[in-house]
Amino acid sequence: MESIYWVTSWACHRRCRHCYEDRFRPYVRGALQAVVDEAIRNFPRIVANLPDRMTYLDLDSPGPDGGFVEKVGRIVLSGGEALLVDVRESVTYPLIDALVARYRENGGVKLVVQTTGDLLTQTIIEELLSRGVYMISVAGVDDFHVGLKGVDRQIAYRARLTTMFNGAGMKLSGLSSQTRKWHDEDGPLFSFFGATPDSWIGKLWPRGRAWANGMSTATLADNFCNRWSGGLNFLRHRYSGSEVSIEPTGDLYPCCVKTKIPLGSLLEDRLTDILDSLVGEPAFEAISMGHPERMGIAYGWSEEAFVGRSRTATPAGRDYANLCIGCDAFHEEMLGPILAEARMKRRRKRAMTGSARKDTHVSA
C-alpha cells in the first residue's frame, strides 16, 4: 500500500474550533490515562494486521520488464498530538520501533510523524530521527490555530522550527503536501502545511467541531472523495494512489474524512483482507473511483437522489450541501448490513483457513 494515515490516540493539547474530530482535545487524569491505555492496548494488534509489505507498484513508473516499479510506501503517525509527553513515550516511540522492526526485512517503510510543532525540541527531533523517522510534518500552520493567526506569526513559527530541523541535518521537502508524490524524496525531511484557502482542506470537512461551529464552506462542487487522502483508489491497495485511515480503536476508513461506518476493525482482520472483501461491491467501488454520488445506483438510489440527500442545514440553520452528507446518509441507511455481511464472510474464511491448517498439521 502507498499510504496509511494512523491516528495513534485522541489526546491533544488543543481544542481547535475547526477540527474535524471533536475527540481530539485535552484529557486530564483518568480520562487521559484511558485514551493512552486504549492506544497502548490496540497498537500491537493493529501492527500485526497491517500489510506484509508497505510497498506499492507505481502506475506512473513502468519498469524495463513491462511491469511497474515497486516503491516504498509511508505510514503517517498523527493524532491528536503524537508528541504529547504521555503519548510520546508510551505510544509513539514504541509504535515507531514496532513498525521499523516489522518492515526492516520486508521492503522497508517511510515513517512520517505529523505534529502541530509547538512541542518539538531539538532532543525530540533527534530522538525521532534516531528511530528511523523519515519526515516530520508540521500541521496547523494557519489562522485557525491559536497563536498563529497572521502571516508574520506563521513566518516566524516556520523559521524557528526550520532552525531546529536544519540543526538535525534535515531538509525541507521540495513538494507541497497536496502533491501525492511528495514522499518520494530522500529523507530525513520536514514540511509545513495547514488549513489555508489554497489547500485541499481549506474549505473544511463537514465534521467534528468544524461542523458544529458552522465553519465548513464546502459546496457540492467540493468532492473531497475524488482526491488524495479522500477515498480515491483506496481499494487498489497494491498500486499507487491508495491510502486508508486508522483510528486508535482499530477502525479502518477509506479516507481521512471518515465515513459514517468503518470498513472493519484491524483488531480482528488484516487490512488487506478487509479491503479485498469489499472489492466489487458497487458502493465502495464508487468511492474508490472518486464518485460518491454513484454509490447508490445499484441499490435504488439514483445520482439525483444522492445529491438530494446531500443537502442539509448546519447546526446554526444555514443551508448546506456537500457529497459527504449524502455519503453519511447512504452509509447509515444502506451499508450497515452489507458491511456486516462482509465481516461475517471474513470470519468464515478465517475459520475455514484455520481448519485447513489444523487438518494439514494432523495429517503431517
- Residue the block writes with cell 506484509: 52
Q: Which residues contact 240 (CB under 8 A, 6 or more apart)?
A: 2, 56, 57, 58, 59, 60, 71, 180, 233
Q: For residues 24 and 200, which has the higher predicted lDDT (pLDDT)?
A: 24
Cα dihedral 9, 11, 12, 18 sign: positive
Residues 92-134 have pLDDT tens digits of 999 999 999 999 999 999 999 999 999 999 999 999 999 999 9
Q: Which pLDDT score, from 0 to 100, does residue 176 have?
A: 60
Query: How large a percentage of the chain has pLDDT more than 70?
Result: 94
CA atoms within 13 A on the CB side of 213: 15
CB 41 within 8 A of CB 8: no
Q: Which pLDDT score, from 0 to 100, does residue 361 have?
A: 47
* pLDDT bucket at 146, cuts 50 / 70 / 90: confident
Residue range 284-304: average pLDDT? Answer: 97
Q: Which pLDDT score, from 0 to 100, does residue 179 have?
A: 60
Among 282, 231, 238, CA closest to 252: 231
Residues 195-252 have pLDDT tens digits of 777 676 779 999 999 999 999 999 999 999 998 889 999 999 999 999 999 999 999 9
Query: CA 338 to CA 280: how far, in whole Å?
Result: 12
Residues 252-280 have pLDDT tens digits of 999 999 999 999 999 999 999 999 999 99
* pLDDT bucket at 182, cuts 50 / 70 / 90: low
**Phi, psi dihedrals of residue 322, rounded to the nearest 5°:** -160, 150
CB 311 within 8 A of CB 296: no
Residue 151 has pLDDT above 50, yes or no: yes
Q: Is the peptide bond before 326 cis (omega within 30 degrees of 0)?
A: no
Q: Which pLDDT score, from 0 to 100, does residue 148 have?
A: 81
